[in-house]
């Protein structure tokens, strides 16, 4: 089979479309009413719904941060462990909220009229960047184990504290730092990663990462050609 | 320009370029429902992005960019046909092509092999078949002309090989 034979088949396809009158205005009409219906009924694109989902998360995040802020303000150093722990929780949640706001800005900036690889890369990056927010949120884990600490437990060498509370906090601290470092695209094929990120939302994130890899390979080839050229 | 004039101009452009829409919908969706949903999504995105079109450039180049971006995103999405307006209201009907017009089965076969290609390769070969220059293809896809030419050549070879293999299996001849 030669090039022209492939093209001939495609041209036959064009003729077939014409003959089948699928392209005929009588069977395939796009008119003013269509545009009006689109404006009225289909006012939400996939990106917009992703934007709305992220906006919802931001609103919830802000409410949660306000709650934490009130707790910190209302208990300002009455118990330093409580103030510092809740203050750190507030900090990590604020960072995550800022990251989600950044995502919303990115969503608004994405344009489908850019080049195909450019737009697809931006879309995949947007989905993949959810992982950054998750990494940050894991770091708050140890502070959920410290907000109820009391200085008397340390001052008087409470056995329950040193044998149970402290080791548990230490364990979660090490785990949080390890997860922060290890939740990365390069580890996506590891069993623990797939167990942890096995949900539907994470599957989308992992797929987006794979796609980013694919686009990079697709574009990389041109660099090889340029170097060779 | 008032809204009704903009709508009128947009509709005229859609009518003149509806072949692009149809071929892209056919290349990325096999079911009629998906094709209609995708067509609606492409038209809606084109309408929304209408203000970003620069009349100094070819309308078809801009339309290919938007349509391919929407089609690839749609294809990659797991949620499909979730928001289709009934086509009686939409006046968009994209039925399956009649089999009798493809007596040799070549069109269906070529479509099947194109459908098996990765999304970006599929976009490249559609643009090639649509007689776009390497420069236009490179511009739409966002790669260099050299890269576009090399990739298209590789995809063509692959398609030819697959077509040959299928014909050999079916008719016992190359």
Whether residue A1 lies inside any domain: the answer is no
A37 lies within 8 A of chain B by CB? yes
Selected residue with higher pLDDT from B12 and A39: B12
Residues A32 and A107 placed together within one structural domain of the fold = no
* Section A176-193 average pLDDT: 88
> Closest to A35 (Cβ–Cβ): which among B47, B62, B159?
B47
Lowest mean pLDDT among A217-221, B49-53, B77-81, B101-105: B77-81
Would the ipTM clear 0.90, i.e. be above it? no
Note down the domain range covering A177.
46-219
- List, for residues B9-32, the tens digit of each pLDDT value: 887 788 788 888 889 998 999 888
User: In whole numbers, what is the pLDDT of chain B averaged over residues?
Assistant: 82
Q: Which two tokens stand for residue B130?
A: 């649509």
* Cβ-based neighbour number of residue B71 at 10 Å: 25
Contacts with A200 (C-beta within 8 Å, 6 or more apart), sequence order: none
* Section B80-98 average pLDDT: 56
The model's confidence at residue B77, banded by pLDDT at 50, 70 and 90, is confident
Residues A15 and A92 placed together within one structural domain of the fold = no
Compute the distance between CA of residue A176 and CA of residue A178 in angstroms, rounded to an integer.
5
Residues A73 and A151 placed together within one structural domain of the fold = yes
Contacts with B54 (C-beta within 8 Å, 6 or more apart), sequence order: B62
User: Nearest CA to A100 among A68, A160, A59?
Assistant: A59
Whether residue A162 lies inside any domain: the answer is yes
Residues A15 and A116 placed together within one structural domain of the fold = no
Compute the distance between CA of residue A24 and CA of residue A42 in angstroms, rounded to an integer.
25
* pLDDT given for residue B79 in this prediction: 53
C-alpha to C-alpha distances, A71 to A29, A77, A83, nearest whole angstrom: 61, 11, 8
* pLDDT given for residue B50 in this prediction: 84
Contacts with A28 (C-beta within 8 Å, 6 or more apart), sequence order: A22, B18, B22, B91, B92, B93, B94
Q: Which two tokens stand for residue B31?
A: 């079911």
Residues A60 and A27 placed together within one structural domain of the fold = no
B170 lies within 8 A of chain A by CB? no
Inspect the interface and report whether the beta carbons of A28 and B8 lie closer than 8 Å. no
Residues A52 and A116 placed together within one structural domain of the fold = yes
* Cβ-based neighbour number of residue A171 at 10 Å: 12
* pLDDT given for residue A40 in this prediction: 65
Q: Walk me through the domains of chain B, giving residue ranges and CATH numbers.
A: 1-96 (1.10.1740.10), 97-174 (1.10.10)
Number of structural domains chain A divides into = 2
- List, for residues A13-28, the tens digit of each pLDDT value: 888 777 765 555 544 5
* Cβ-based neighbour number of residue A138 at 10 Å: 20
Contacts with A141 (C-beta within 8 Å, 6 or more apart), sequence order: A172, A173, A175, A176
Residues A122 and A137 placed together within one structural domain of the fold = yes
Compute the distance between CA of residue A125 and CA of residue A207 in angstroms, rounded to an integer.
11
Residues A105 and A178 placed together within one structural domain of the fold = yes
> Closest to A112 (Cβ–Cβ): which among B69, B107, B123?
B69
* pLDDT given for residue A44 in this prediction: 54
* Section A123-128 average pLDDT: 85
Lowest mean pLDDT among A78-82, A186-190, B120-124, B166-170: B166-170
DSSP string across A28-45: S---HHHHHHHHHH----
Selected residue with higher pLDDT from B102 and A152: A152
> Closest to A42 (Cβ–Cβ): which among B44, B142, B147?
B44
Residues A37 and A140 placed together within one structural domain of the fold = no
- List, for residues A130-152, the tens digit of each pLDDT value: 888 888 889 999 999 999 999 88
Taking the CA of residue A96 and the nearest CA in chain B, the distance in Å comes to: 25
Whether residue A228 lies inside any domain: the answer is no
Whether residue A16 lies inside any domain: the answer is yes
Whether residue A60 lies inside any domain: the answer is yes
Inspect the interface and report whether the beta carbons of A45 and B11 lie closer than 8 Å. no
Residue A168 has pLDDT above 70, yes or no: yes
Residues A59 and A166 placed together within one structural domain of the fold = yes
The interface residues of chain B toward chain A in range 61-100, judged by CB-CB distance below 8 A, are: 62, 65-66, 68-70, 72-74, 76-79, 83, 85, 89-95, 97-98
The interface residues of chain A toward chain B in range 39-78, judged by CB-CB distance below 8 A, are: 39, 41-42, 44-46
* pLDDT given for residue A29 in this prediction: 53
Residues A77 and A152 placed together within one structural domain of the fold = yes
Lowest mean pLDDT among A92-101, A171-180, B14-23: B14-23
Taking the CA of residue A108 and the nearest CA in chain B, the distance in Å comes to: 12
Residue A175 has pLDDT above 70, yes or no: yes
């Amino acid at each position: 089979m030669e090039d022209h034979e492939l093209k001939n088949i495609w041209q036959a396809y064009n003729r077939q479309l014409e003959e089948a009158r699928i392209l005929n205005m009588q069977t395939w009409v796009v008119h003013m009413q269509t545009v009006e219906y689109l404006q009225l009924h289909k006012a939400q694109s996939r990106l917009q719904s992703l934007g709305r989902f992220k906006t919802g998360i931001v609103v919830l995040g802000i409410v949660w941060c306000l709650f934490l802020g009130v707790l910190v303000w209302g208990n300002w150093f009455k118990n330093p462990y409580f103030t510092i722990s809740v203050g750190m929780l507030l900090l990590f949640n604020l960072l995550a909220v800022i990251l989600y706001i950044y995502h919303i800005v990115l969503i608004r900036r994405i344009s489908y009229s850019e080049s195909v690889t450019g737009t697809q890369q931006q879309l995949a990056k947007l989905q993949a960047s959810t992982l950054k927010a998750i990494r940050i949120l894991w770091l708050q884990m140890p502070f959920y184990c410290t907000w109820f600490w009391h200085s008397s437990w340390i001052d008087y060498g409470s056995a329950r504290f040193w044998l149970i509370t402290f080791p548990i906090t230490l364990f979660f601290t090490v785990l949080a730092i390890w997860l922060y470092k290890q939740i990365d695209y390069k580890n996506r094929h590891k069993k623990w990663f797939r167990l942890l990120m096995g949900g539907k939302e994470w599957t989308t994130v992992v797929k987006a990462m794979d796609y980013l890899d694919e686009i990079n390979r697709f574009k990389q080839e041109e660099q090889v050609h340029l170097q060779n050229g | 320009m008032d809204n009704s004039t903009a709508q009128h101009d947009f509709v005229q452009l859609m009518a003149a370029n509806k072949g692009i829409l149809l071929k892209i919908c056919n290349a990325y969706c096999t079911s009629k429902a998906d094709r209609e949903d995708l067509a609606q999504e492409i038209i809606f995105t084109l309408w929304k992005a209408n203000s970003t079109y620069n009349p100094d450039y070819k309308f078809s180049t801009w339309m290919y960019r938007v349509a391919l971006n929407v089609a690839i995103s749609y294809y990659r999405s797991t949620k499909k046909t979730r928001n289709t307006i009934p086509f009686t209201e939409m006046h968009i009907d994209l039925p399956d092509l009649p089999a009798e017009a493809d007596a040799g089965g070549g069109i269906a076969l070529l479509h099947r092999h194109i459908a098996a290609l990765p999304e970006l390769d599929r976009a490249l070969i559609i643009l090639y078949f649509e007689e776009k220059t390497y420069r236009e293809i490179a511009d739409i896809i966002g790669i260099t002309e050299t890269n576009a030419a090399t990739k298209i050549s590789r995809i063509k070879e692959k398609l030819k090989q697959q077509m040959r293999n299928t014909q050999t299996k079916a008719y016992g001849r190359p």
